[in-house]
Each structure stands twice: as structure tokens, then as C-alpha cells.
Amino acid sequence: MKKTISEHAARFSEAAPSYDDQKGEEYEACAGLVVRRAAPAAADTVLDLGTGTGAIALSLADDADRVVGRDISEGMLEQAREKASEAGVDNVSFDYGEFREPAYDGVAQIVTSNFALHHLSDAEKRAAIEAMASVDGGGTPSRNDTVGPRRIVLGDVMFFDGPDPAEPFFDPEVDDPATVGTLVDSFTDAGYAVTRVDRVHDQVGVLTAERVVTGGRET
């Protein structure tokens, strides 16, 4: 991580009041795909990490039973809470949580994250993906299986071809995007199969990862 957690949090809290006015075409396409790929069932709880002002969390609230948003920036969380209150959405909650310590000990069948994981180094991203996979997915363990969330959907800045300094998708001073291959390897090692890769742009994509079930019947 090129900045500390508190430096990132302060940066986003300062930007929070105008954050929703600054979104680009690729961001919108990426966010739309994260929502589409998450596809929660009506009984599912969704955990949205790096939730910011709640774009993904609020978009999924109608389809899920409950959505839990976590972020390190109190300013972003405050915007998210205001938006939920103004829209009369009462099945979402927004509280402090860091990728590797989401401060959530409930069940979540689906984990989402959009445009946030690239602030971490590759080793930290790997730890974050392991933390996502460790959330209680609400199923019953089969013989050789741990029961994490059924699906993890990650939209982010990621390199399909390599970094392009001429493009505005990341700021080398604060951002640290991974290659698609590095992210896929992290999901695989955490017990997930990346079943879909949406390439929004050379440097923006959405990975859909499904939990691999081995050695027995899932109930």
C-alpha cells in the first residue's frame, strides 16, 4: 500500500462530498457489471467492501435480503448513509471495515467490491481475497470444503495488457493495480474459480469468482 490506511481514509473523506459527481464512463460500466454479476437471490446477504458512497450496495438492496457495506473512510460512509436514508432503503448498513479485517462476523452469500482493491499492494490484495473467502457463506461444510461466500465479484482497475501511463485510470502515487493473472491466482489459491472475466477497458475489469466445492455434496 503506497499510503497508510489513515492517509487513504483522509483522502477519501475529503473527496466524499463530490465523489459521486466525478465518475467516468468506464467506472459506470464496471459498477453496472459488478451489480449484474453479483445477482443475489432474494434471501442472500451481500457484503460490499470498499463500499464508498454505497453505489454497489444501494443498487443491490432491492434484490438482496440485506446488504452490508464496509469502508475505512467515515466521510464516504456518511454519504452512503445519507443516500440510503434519502432513498428510504432500510436493509443496508454502512460501517467501518478494512479489506483484511472487514469487522463483519455475520453470514454473506455474496461479496462484492468495486474500484477499491487497487489501493492495496499485491500481497495485501491476496490477503484481502483470503479474508473475503473466510467470510461465513452460510452453507453447511461438506467433507473437504470450507464454506465461504458462494460468489465474489471484483470490479477494479486491473491490467489486461500492462500499465499505460498515458491513461487516467490510476495514480502511481496512491494506486497499485494488479495484473488480471495475479488476481485470478489469488482467487484460485483461496478456493475460488474465476468463471467470468469482463474486460471493460485495457485497465479495468470485473472478475466473477465462484466457490469451488470439492469432496462432497453441498447442502
Ligand X SMILES: C[S@@+](CC[C@H](N)C(=O)[O-])C[C@H]1O[C@@H](n2cnc3c(N)ncnc32)[C@H](O)[C@@H]1O
> Which of 37, 66, 119, 151 contacts ligand X by CB under 6 A?
119
Indicate the residue among 12 and 159 with the shorter CB distance to ligand X: 12
Binding-site size, ligand X (CB under 6 A): 22
> Which of 55, 64, 157, 158 contacts ligand X by CB under 6 A?
55
159: contact with ligand X by CB under 6 A: no
The set of cell numbers assigned to 69 is 457495506
* Contact characters 59-78, ligand X, x per CB under 6 A: ------------xxx--x--
Per DSSP, the chain holds a count of helices (H) and strands (E) of 6, 8
- Rounded Cα distance, 204 and 160, in Å: 8
Which residue's CB comes closest to ligand X?
Answer: 52
Interface positions, 17-46, toward ligand X (CB under 6 A) = 31
Mapped onto helix, strand or coil, the DSSP state of residue 54 is coil
177: contact with ligand X by CB under 6 A: no
> Distance of CA 149 to CAs 5, 17, 212, Å?
25, 32, 10
Tally of CA atoms within 13 A in the half-sphere of 86 that contains its CB: 9
> Which of 56, 84, 157, 158 contacts ligand X by CB under 6 A?
56
DSSP 141: -
Mapped onto helix, strand or coil, the DSSP state of residue 160 is coil
Q: Using CB under 6 A as the criterion, which residues of the chain lie in contact with ligand X when the complex forms? A: 5, 8-9, 12, 31, 49-52, 55-56, 71-73, 76, 98-99, 114-116, 119-120
